[in-house]
Structure 1
Amino acid sequence: MNEAFSSSSESVLHRTVGVSQPVCHDGDLEQMYQISQTCHFIKSNGFKKAALQFPDELLVDSITVSAAVEREAKVKTYVLGDTSYGSCCVDEVAAEHVAAECVVHYGRSCLSPPTRLPVMYVFGRRPIDVQRCAAIFKELFPNGGSHVVVLYDVTYSHAIDDLRSILNDDYPNVVFSDLKADHSRGQGQVYGPLTDSNNTDCMADMVVCKFGRYFCMKEGKTVEDYSMFYIGHEGLTLTNFMMTWNRCAFCSYDPGTSLVRAESININKALMKRYYAIERAKDASVVGILVGTLGVASYLTIIEQLKDCIRKAGKKSYVFAMGKINVPKLANFLEIDVYVLVACPENSLLDSSEFYRPVVTPFEMEVACNKHREWNGEYITDFRDLLPGGSSHVDFPNPDKSANDEDVTDVSLITGALRSSCLNSSDLPNTSSSSSLVVRNQTLTIANTSTAASFLAGRSWQGLEPKLGDSPVVKAVEGRRGIAIAYEEEGAQ
């Protein structure tokens, strides 16, 4: 459950969080949490209520930070804890519950564009030895002419300018990525500390933008011509980059552990697992659309696009909004054949090995439903790229009988059965002139066939039913004691 705390409830917050040792000492508080910049952001925009969103590991400092912001900015603050979905995303829903006018997001971020509220990012400053990092880079790439892109976790962005100044003279072909949150599709505004200073003179067709980072390639080069050097710990950010640019060689350096390695993850094996999930999606008759975000811009648009795509492929779809996803929640809906998760890029690649049904991404669902989209080795985790105007948008074929666009059948690689991959226009329901219930007379109605409803009607257990008026009212009595294997009266016997 999402919780918002007023900063005045100090004792309540500390009891809830269950921690007492601060992450940051008072002397480092200003630098770590950028108190002055935060207060300037609030005062310059005239905000009266501000939501401060902390990840779990930084909640211990939330009371001190919120008190400092309230004291200096003369604003009412609310601390957001236990975010609705991933802590990397801005939790606009929780902020709106307390009528906040802006959000200050602390810690790691996926840099997904906000939808409604103005947002300021405070990444923090994880310690890094820049000289050590530069020495590691030179060991991995001894050739000064190497073409390398430097990527990094946002918590190390404060040290990138120093690293750039050390390496630029010896490595003229090294490209440093900058942070740039893309909010062109959303209504929310994004404020610093995003960097945008060194790549402003690039030609538009040479700029690569991905996951809030952007960099400019040398003329005549493509992304595949570069090696990737990532600064940060192993996690979802690195996995996203490796899945997206799966033809590039990756090396990583973790400043926290000083661990250096050439990433040896078997990308082909990982991609084959995802391709298996696509085959499961092609076999599915009933698809569940999981709402995994309420704050990333255009999430409603991709849901509508998925519903239309699934319908045109001859499948049924149902939308589920259930907060944080886990195995027991999804196990309640056995009639669903496959789920598609709409979430930010870092939370899209859900490991569904423990789930009863596979969970795929919007890109994988489109590959399964749209015969015009072929998987040529690229992989897309940002659903905004699939929307009209996106870099990877592919129109769904227009099912027109007059164009002899017949249903195409193929063979399932899992079951070996024949399946239809596309519908004709005559097979699509006319939603504009029909309704779910049709009155036949005063006592009978008929309903359109629903695959999930038929399944629910046919299974033995259909959930708890109150049966009001059918069950007699009786007095409460004391129940049996013990555990089911040996109640207390059974032991006495």
Structure 2
Amino acid sequence: MLKTQNSDIFLRLENSGAKTVALQFPEGIKREAISFAEELRKKGYIVIISGEPCWGACDLDLDILKSADVLVHYGHAPVDDTKNIIYEFLRHDIDINSLEPVLGSIKGKKIGLVTTIQHVHELERIKVFFAEKGIECIVSKGGKRTPYKGQVLGCSFEAAKNTGCNEILFVGTGVFHPLGVSLATGARVIAFDPYMKEVRIADPDRLLRQRFAKIEKARSAGSFGIILSKKSGQKREELAERLASLSDKACIISIGEVTPDALLNLGFDAYVNTACPRLAYDDQARFPRPMLSPAEFEIVCKVRDWEDYKIDEIN
């Protein structure tokens, strides 16, 4: 079994009264669903495994609940209060002593501290580590989509903004989260990868140059497709309608899975993303036409200045 945050998953299932259980695993660990399904069948449950793509708790397979009593969603914490969902997120421990190299990058005596859901259970130990070195760590609550203190998502950086610090440490993998924290807060962001044991300073300048180029290219577009996601936690209908009202060249597209082929077949000159914010930032290279964030489309439509640029978040 995978190492999870909660050890009472079977008790919670028993208390739910469910007889048929649906399982949803994200792409990176989908193969683990087989062994978990076997455990459940031994306990007398009927099990259905979701084969749909899954990229987060915003991507629930609600259709499968038509055939099951409850959906066990693995790998993520809840982003809303959808009923009949049991969340079981994964936990990854950190070698606290590996944080030693971070000390050389910290300039002040107080820093904000944020991480992803896999490491939130380690935040107290990390605070103690730095406190012993004379550095105070501020861990703050986030928004509705981030139920754990210090937790950030690629679409929500409230926990970072709420620290009020001008220097923030992000513990986790990848470059997008620390860049997002930097753009959302304006703070100096130190990123520590607990697996590679690497320390770097987030530099959003390259990303901003890339985004500026996409905006400039989109200015000559003859048509804009406003992407309206069908996914449970990504459907921002009011936002899509407001953006479509900014230009007579814009049309709303209702879509489930946003893929390069799907957009290529639709044939718009440029697209505006109201689905997962990372589509515009992380996945732009996959798409043949410019993919703008809501704020970037507002810049194209001249209702926002470049100097008022902001990263897209879902609140």
TM-score, normalized by length of structure 2? Answer: 0.81
Which gives a bigger RCO, structure 1 or 2 (Cα 8 Å, sep 6+)? 2
SS in structure 2 at match of 1:92: coil
Task: Give ranges in structure 1 of 5+ residues lacking alignment.
Answer: 1-28, 184-189, 199-209, 385-493
1:129 CA displacement: 0.4
Query: 1:224-259, CA deviations, whole angstroms, 9 ceiling, x for partnerless residues?
Result: xx21211111243333223323x3222222121212
Q: Which has the larger radius of gyration?
A: 1
1:78-477 aligned at under 5 Å gives the runs 78-83=48-53, 86-93=54-61, 95-96=63-64, 98-107=66-75, 109=76, 113-114=79-80, 116-133=82-99, 135-141=100-106, 146-168=109-131, 170-171=133-134, 173-178=136-141, 182=144, 194-196=147-149, 211=156, 214=159, 222-223=164-165, 226-245=166-185, 247-263=186-202, 265=203, 267-296=204-233, 298-309=235-246, 313-321=247-255, 323-326=257-260, 328-334=261-267, 336-353=268-285, 355-369=287-301, 371=303, 373-384=304-315
Q: Is the 8 A contact 1:104 1:122 kept in 2?
A: yes
User: Separation in 1 of the partners of 2:101 and 2:179?
Assistant: 21
Which residue matches 1:461? none
What is the CA RMSD across the aligned residues, in angstroms?
3.3
User: Separation in 2 of the partners of 1:368 and 1:233?
Assistant: 33
Range moving further from structure 2, 287-296 or 90-99: 90-99
User: Separation in 2 of the partners of 1:164 and 1:211?
Assistant: 22
Task: Give ranges in structure 2 of 5+ residues lacking alignment.
Answer: none
Which residue matches 2:47? 77
1:95 CA displacement: 4.5
Which segments of structure 1 move beyond 6 Å, counting only runs of 4 or more? none
Aligned in 2, Cα 1:89/1:64: closer, same or farther, shift over 3 Å?
Answer: same
Aligned in 2, Cα 1:367/1:112: closer, same or farther, shift over 3 Å?
Answer: farther
Which residue matches 1:37? 8
Query: 1:279-315, CA deviations, whole angstroms, 9 ceiling, x for partnerless residues?
Result: 3444333211224451115522322222233xxx332
Aligned in 2, Cα 1:249/1:323: closer, same or farther, shift over 3 Å?
Answer: same
1:370 CA displacement: 5.5
Q: Report how many residues are paired.
A: 311
Output the amino acid matched with 2:159.
Y
User: Separation in 2 of the partners of 1:216 and 1:68?
Assistant: 42
TM-score, normalized by length of structure 1? Answer: 0.55
